[in-house]
Every structure is written in C-alpha cells, then in structure tokens.
Amino acid sequence: MRALRSTRQDAGEPGGSGVESNRDFDFTSADFERIRALIHRRAGISLSDHKRDMAYSRLARRLRTLGLDSFREYLDQLEARNDAAEWEAFTNALTTNLTAFFREAHHFPILADFVKRRGSQPVSVWCSAASTGEEPYSIAMTLVEALGDRAAREARVLATDLDTQVLAKADAGVYSFDQVKHLSPERLKRFFFKGTGSHSGLVKVRPELRAMIKFEQLNLTDADYGLRTTFDAIFCRNVMIYFDKPTQAQVLTRFEPLMKPDGLLFAGHSENFTYVTQAFRLRGQTVYELTRGAASAAPRRANDALGVPA
Ligand SMILES: C[S@@+](CC[C@H](N)C(=O)[O-])C[C@H]1O[C@@H](n2cnc3c(N)ncnc32)[C@H](O)[C@@H]1O
C-alpha cells in the first residue's frame, strides 16, 4: 500500500502555493514542468503556475487508478507507451470545462438577427469548444426561435471539443434542474423533457433539438481539422484563454478559410483577437468578422478545400 507522504512545504518552489498541503504523492517542480510541456504539445493549453495544485489533484486520480507510486513513473509510462486511451485520460484531466446555457447571453440575439437576415439560405454554425453541450444546445435553440420550422431542415450545428468525456455528456443531453434554472419556462417546455421517477430532478434535450447537432472530437491545435465546408458562424468562446499567442494565431489562421465571407466569429468575454491576427476585425461585443482582404480570399480557399476549381 502507498504510504501517505508527510506534509510538505511548497513555498519557494516555482508555482508553489506557499501553504502546506497533504499529498499522497511527491510532486516536484520537474514533474509539473513535464506536465506543462506535454499538455502544451498535445492540446495547446498553457498551464500557468497557479494551476499546479489543479494538475496535481486531477492527475493524482490517474495514479491511483493505475496503482502507480509517483508522478515520475506515470509520466515515464505515458511518454514511453503510445497508449491512446491514457493520453486521452491525461488531456481530459487537464481541460477546464466550465460552461452554462446562454452564457454571455448578448451573443444569442446577435446570432438570431444574423441568421434571419440570411433569408432562405441554409445555416451552419460550428461550436468549436462545446464542453458539456450547453453552448451548442443554446445555439440550436436560438436557431429554432429565429427560423421556426425551417431550422430542423436547414440549420445545422457542428459541436466539437478535445475532451471526450464532456462530449459524451453533451451527446446524452441530460442536465440537472440546477443547470437549466435560468432558462425561461417557454424554453424548458419547448426544448426539454422533464425526468420522472428515478430521473426526477433531471431534464433531457428533446430529440428534434438534438438532431440538429453533430458532436465530434476535434483538437483546435491540429494542423488540419478535416472540415471541408464553410460556416456562417463559428463560436470559439473561452478556450483561446488557455492558449498562448502563437497558438491563438494558428487557430485563427485555420478558421479563416472555414468562414463564409460575411460570417461571424464569436469570442469569449476576455478574449481579444485584435492583437493576434489581422484576418479578423472586431464588429463589437466580442464578435468578429473577416477583414476585407480575408473576405475576398476566403471563398477561393474554401473551394480549394472542397476540391472545386477556383
Ligand atoms: C471553459 S470551456 C468553454 C466552453 C464553452 N465554449 C463556453 O464558453 O461556455 C473550454 C473548453 O475548451 C476545450 N478545449 C481545451 N483545449 C482544446 C483544444 N485544443 N481543442 C478543442 N477544445 C479544447 C475544453 O475541453 C473545454 O471543454
């Protein structure tokens, strides 16, 4: 059995909290630096010093599950064996998935107006950091409210995330009352079933809404997303904050040919792309559009991706 390590003092080590903590496993600065480098390489995530305790507690669970005695052993194994499942568990453990229905609510009326103005064209929206699903379901509800019956036939949402665990939750579409407490009674009735018996206290997304969304795993730091289409709108909210500037710039470069020329890019409240790229310009309220030069280049590149001669 693993012995409980004695209380140790983190003060003085980079990222140390300065408070004493009881830990099951030794966790050195070298371990943390290795974790930082690995998660940056795999997911673009830059873990700041103050995420040290978070990294410890989330990965300590993996050590316990695998019956390992030290972080060093865990990280050695992770790097030596090309075990896709463990890499997945490692990245899932280090993502932050906080989200909510209609989070940053001012974006949804903007989306509704935008799709209404597009007349009879089909609408496609990509939610690129979908987490547990609240954001893509909010987008789909907005499309139904804006387009009525047409939405089921002509509006589609692609919802992607790196974390497979959150995607499984999103796919199930089951939420607690607490998670939907801010939705209006009209929305609750229109878009959710209420659980009864052993499911009381829960709601489930109605199949019509669920059918508008396709959930898939996608790593925003991959060189090629494998998407061969263009979107009217891309939601990329509250994920770029975890990336450094060069990674943000790469992601925005990959978004450019995936946007319709007059499409919209929605960012999180604390994310500012103006300093990262010239391809997008701020339209207001953390909503971006392609700049003129990018707009004229976009259709040509999209056609390339579709295999259509320019
Ligand atoms: C804080 S949540 C934001 C969720 C939602 N967009 C919102 O604003 O409410 C960040 C999400 O980004 C995902 N993520 C982190 N790195 C990623 C990457 N490299 N590729 C795709 N998704 C990533 C995480 O798994 C997490 O679900």
Q: Crossing angle for the helix pair 29-43 and 52-66, nearest 10 degrees?
A: 90
Whole-angstrom distance, CA of residue 60 vs CA of residue 73: 12
pLDDT 10s digits, 45-95? 999 999 999 999 999 999 999 999 999 999 999 999 989 999 999 999 999
**Residues at CB less than 6 angstroms from ligand 1:** 43-45, 95-99, 103, 129, 131, 135, 161-163, 166, 219-221, 237-239, 242, 268
What is the full DSSP assignment across 32-91?
HHHHHHHHHHHH-B---GGGHHHHHHHHHHHHHHHT-S-HHHHHHHHHHS--HHHHHHHH
Question: Could you tell which of 46, 91, 95 is best to mutate to test the pocket of ligand 1, judged by most ligand atoms within 8 Å of the CB?
Answer: 95
Q: Supply the pLDDT for residue 2.
A: 33
Q: Supply the pLDDT for residue 124.
A: 98
**Average pLDDT score over the chain:** 88
The pair of structure tokens assigned to 305 is 């991706």
User: Domains plus CATH for the chain?
Assistant: 6-94 (1.10.155.10), 107-297 (3.40.50.150)
Q: Supply the pLDDT for residue 34.
A: 97
Is the pLDDT assigned to residue 296 strictly greater than 80?
Answer: no
Is the pLDDT assigned to residue 10 strictly greater than 80?
Answer: no
What is the full DSSP assignment across 251-293?
HHHHHGGGEEEEEEEEE-TT---TTT-SSEEEEETTEEEE-HH
Is the pLDDT assigned to residue 3 strictly greater than 70?
Answer: no
Confidence of residue 304 (pLDDT cuts 50, 70, 90): very low
Measured from the Cα of 44, ligand 1's closest atom is 19
pLDDT 10s digits, 208-263? 999 999 999 999 999 999 999 999 999 999 999 999 999 999 999 999 999 999 99
23, 42, 58, 206: the catalytic one is 58
Whole-angstrom distance, CA of residue 163 vs CA of residue 271: 21
Q: Are 203 and 96 in contact (CB under 8 A)?
A: no
| Mean pLDDT score, 14-32 | 68
Q: Supply the pLDDT for residue 297.
A: 45
Q: Is 228 a catalytic residue?
A: no
Helix (H) or strand (E) holding 250: helix 245-255
Determine which residue's CA is closest to atom 7 belonging to ligand 1.
Answer: 99
Q: Are 236 and 251 in contact (CB under 8 A)?
A: yes
Residue 123 alpha carbon to ligand 1 centre in Å: 23
Residue 238 alpha carbon to ligand 1 centre in Å: 7
| Mean pLDDT score, 164-184 | 97
Question: Could you tell which of 42, 161, 252 is best to mutate to test the pocket of ligand 1, judged by most ligand atoms within 8 Å of the CB?
Answer: 161
Q: Supply the pLDDT for residue 250.
A: 96
Contacts of 174 (CB under 8 A, 6+ apart): 195, 202, 203, 204, 205
Is the pLDDT assigned to residue 302 strictly greater than 50?
Answer: no
Q: Is 161 a catalytic residue?
A: yes
Q: Are 260 and 234 in contact (CB under 8 A)?
A: no
